[in-house]
Chains A and B, each alone.
Chain A
Amino acid sequence: MARDTSEAAPGSSVTRRVRRTVLIGAAVAAVVVATAPFQLDIYTKNILIRAFFLAALAMTVDVLWGYTGILTFGQSAFFGIGAYACALVATHYGFGPFWFAGSFLLALLAAVAVAWLIGWLAFYHGASPLYASIVTLALPIVLVQLIFAGGRFTGSSSGISAFPTYYWAFETWFWIAGGYLIAVTALGYLLVSSDFGRLLVAIRENEERCAYLGIPVSRIKILLMMAAGAIGAGAGFGYAAFTNVVAPELGGFLLGTELLIFTALGGRGTLIGPVLGTIGIDVTASYLSGSLPFLWKLITGVAFVVVIVLLPQGLIPILGKGLRRLWPFPRAAARDAVVLRGFEPTTPHGETRSAPLRTADLLRHYGSLKVLDGIAIESRGSELLSIVGPNGAGKTTLMRCISDGGERSGGEVYVNGTEIGRGSPQSVVALGIGRSFQNTNLFETLTVGECLMLARWRIDGASLFSRRNEVALPTPALGILEATGLDKALGTETRNLSHGQKRGLELAMVLATEPSVLLLDEPTAGLTKAERTAIGSVLTSLARVHGLSILLIEHDLDFVRDISDRIVVLHQGALLMEGTVEEVIASDLVKAVYSGQAVETAS
């Protein structure tokens, strides 16, 4: 039943508005591109044709860097791959409509294959953003070296020129280049304005949290890289076919950094900014760099540093702001309040199945320091199990080892009977784990509604080119939103929420993923008494009514006593004691631990 949420109406008002904007924008651009060749001299036309292809490439840099936070130095490599596919096939194999189309396809395939390899290298779970940058930096360096080493075949440093190509009129090429740019930019604009686009922003802002919502971050980044690679290769192909020249610099590291400069100056995360920025800078460079050869580069360098340090949003948005005063038009991230719809989740049949969560001999050590030492716990359905222990007992580490297969040093973790292996967080989430965090760093620039949609991604998916206006949530999640007043604040960006609301949203998001085992790390920290009571009753009802198995880390022992069924006490990485609330409260051992006396661990 829970999986049976009908697709939300495809045409939400936001979607309609975005589509209208794209349509109008594309139509205006198309008219400009269609008529411009008749107004411009040949020189300007030539410059613009090349700038259009570069701008399409810069657009992909913005999707990767501006929206998704992948700082790529290597997008030029895909441009180079496309360009060389065109030149090499025409030079060495054949030319004609069939060869031309075939080499275009080859360019896309090669780019997609390389992008997959790069993505696989750079976007494994836990990779630092810096590592991704390193890999994208290595790519053009390796590519250019290969081109140099290719001797006669690739033309080495001289490149290849005057290979057979279509000497269509400049107007035709102008329309091809302009059409390509408009098409891919419109596509990109629809993408970043869609639910999927919000997901990209979420990945940029908090990749780890995305993974713990069951979102396959690595796969999404790899797919995005492949799409961006293909678009870049297409642009490179067009560039080579038009100019009739390829040279190693088209795939080089310097062009890769220039693209970042274009994107930064134009305004990252605006899509239109980098496109206009690239065209503007390239055209200016064509007219100025001839007369100011060294000064021009110095000016770009200074402008780049100034923009990065002082105006991280770039120049075009500043112009845009002025423009918007004159003519208000919808922003890329146009937002509507979403509508919530509740449904009854299926109840896990805790009694008949194996334990929802079981660990055996769980080990975690950093070098010689053992943080967890042979932990064996088992939770049951419809049960609230609290984990207590002084600071540094290993409570949070335990949760991390349960929810991320890559974390533990030894032992097994079974979720609903399946061993998690070395699985990434999102694969563990898929088994039925839901985890909340101690800190309340949510996705700062996303609204409450968008966060909830994000949490439903694993189950409902996200549409690539449209936005929904309805989110289906299991009733417990809805209950929390109502209790904290969040259902009235769906359009608010999360950074503007109160601390209590952030905690409530956090919990609602975890519940939206429909877990059977809930791992909660201090869900009541910093809350008022009233809020704490509300959360407490939600948790009890989740366990009692909905059959969830809940693991709770808490410092507030009164709270623990009120709601727990069982308590596990950790001390210095070892299981000190396990029992009912009464047993643990009565234990002298536990009292001693909490009062800070030196205690011999039970193991």
Chain B
Amino acid sequence: MANLALDMITTSAILFVVASGLMIILGVMKLINFAHGAFLTLGGYAAYLTTEAGLSPWLAPLLAGAVGFGVGIVVERVIVRPLYHRPLDAILATWGLGIIIGQLITIGFGREVQFAASPMTGTLDLGGIEYSAYRLTLTAVALAIGGALTALLYLTRFGLNARAVIMNETLARGLGIDSARVRLLTFGLGAGLACGAGALITPLLSVDPNMGLPWLVNSFMLVLVSGVSIPSLALASLILGSAQVAVSSYISPIIGGLTIVVLAAVLLRLYPKGLGRGT
């Protein structure tokens, strides 16, 4: 039972880490970044290259985040900016971008699985329960990311501007906020978070050109269910992540794999605006 609870908590934490970049972009820019999966993959390869270069695996998420930020800035300028008023087209264009990133990685590294060194291995003893040390660490990292994002949004100038754009972009522009700059930085931040997340989950996964894809749909569902706020994303991750673990444990892991998708579709039918905003 305690093990099940730990599974639920750590799975939710991983989902939160993976989806946070997508949420930031959706919140500020009102568009879905379908290249999110490719950014996760990019993060995995950044981790691989980091450890290949002999650097500490602990550095990998930070370097991946920096790479993601840089790529995000370029992508925003070139692809996303012309599509602000065509949100459905933005989904398609970012999906196309995902294909491009995936193919470039395949051409560069091949389809095979790459191995990045893990920062830690083995289990921790939690009062009689042996549990994966890295999953526990990830939970702490998730809390730290949630805290850092909250601080960024509520304690900084950028956060203030971003919140203003989230609430009412026209008004924000009227107040002299450079919303184009806010969008640029937001996309960079979102892409950076996605790449960082890709590096963070690498020790549990394999690095290959498709590693991010299965996470895309789940993140997408989570973000839509949660709406745009950090606590509600945490809540949605906890609900859907726990449901996935419960269904996998008690019914079947195959149905478990569908839990988030199906449950999210149903939840959204019942609460069209998501959990974060009441009806």
Q: Interface of A with B (CB < 8 Å)? A: 69, 71, 121, 124, 126-131, 133-135, 137-138, 141-142, 145, 148-149, 253, 257, 260-261, 264, 294-295, 297-298, 300-302, 304-305, 308-310, 312, 366-367
Contact = CB atoms under 8 A, between A and B. Distances in A.
B107 interface: yes
B93 A309 contact: yes
16 contacts: A71-B91, A124-B269, A130-B32, A134-B220, A134-B221, A134-B264, A135-B265, A141-B217, A141-B261, A142-B262, A294-B107, A298-B107, A302-B100, A309-B79, A312-B89, A366-B278
Q: What are the 7 closest A-B residue pairs judged by CB atoms, nearest first?
A: A301-B99, A305-B96, A298-B103, A304-B96, A301-B100, A308-B93, A138-B261
A300 B88 CA distance: 19
Contact of B83 (A134, A145, A309): A309
A301 B83 contact: no
B258 A294 contact: no
Interface in B225-279: 254, 257-258, 261-262, 264-265, 268-269, 272, 278
A304 B99 contact: yes
A192 to B, nearest CB: 19
A126 B83 contact: no
Given A131-B224, A294-B103, A308-B83, 10 more contacts: A124-B269, A128-B272, A130-B88, A131-B272, A142-B258, A295-B103, A305-B97, A308-B93, A309-B82, A310-B82
A309 B264 CA distance: 30
Contact of A298 (B104, B224, B262): B104
Contact of B224 (A130, A294, A304): A130
Of B86, B103, B224, most buried by chain A (CB within 10 Å of CB) is B103
Nearest to B257: A145
Nearest to A124: B269
B158 interface: no
A129 B272 contact: no
A264 B99 contact: no
A312 B82 CA distance: 11
Nearest to A254: B213
Given A145-B258, A305-B100, A257 B220 contact: no
A305 B272 CA distance: 30
Contacts of A138: 261-262, 264-265
B95 interface: yes
B99 A297 contact: yes
Interface string B62-96: 00000000000000000100110011110111011
Contacts of B96: 261, 301-302, 304-305, 308
Given A124-B269, A137-B217, A141-B217, A305 B79 contact: yes
Contacts of B156: none
Given A142-B258, A142-B261, A294-B106, A134 B268 contact: yes
A304 B106 CA distance: 19
Interface in B13-28: none
Nearest to A306: B96
Interface of B: 32, 79, 82-83, 86-89, 91-93, 95-97, 99-100, 103-104, 106-107, 217, 220-221, 224, 254, 257-258, 261-262, 264-265, 268-269, 272, 278
Contacts of A126: 272
A340 to B, nearest CB: 35
A257 B95 contact: yes
Given A138-B261, A295-B107, A308 B92 contact: yes
B272 A127 contact: yes
Contacts of B95: 257
Contacts of A366: 278
Nearest to B107: A294
Given A145-B254, A298-B104, A312 B268 contact: no
B45 to A, nearest CB: 16
Nearest to A303: B96
Nearest to B273: A128
Contacts of B217: 137, 141, 253
Contacts of B278: 366-367
A337 to B, nearest CB: 31
A260 B92 contact: yes
Contact of B92 (A145, A264, A302): A264
B192 to A, nearest CB: 21
Contact of B89 (A134, A308, A367): A308
A137 B268 CA distance: 14
Given A130-B32, A301-B100, A141 B258 contact: yes
A407 to B, nearest CB: 11
A126 B272 CA distance: 8
Contacts of B99: 297-298, 300-301, 304
B254 A305 contact: no
Given A129-B88, A301-B100, A301-B103, A134 B272 contact: no
A180 B209 CA distance: 38
Contacts of A71: 88, 91-92
Report which residue of B96, B100, B261, B265 has the largest number of chain A beta carbons within 10 angstroms of its beta carbon: B96
A312 B79 CA distance: 13
A107 B100 CA distance: 35
Nearest to B92: A308
Contact of B91 (A133, A135, A294, A300): A133
Contacts of B79: 305, 309
A130 B26 CA distance: 12
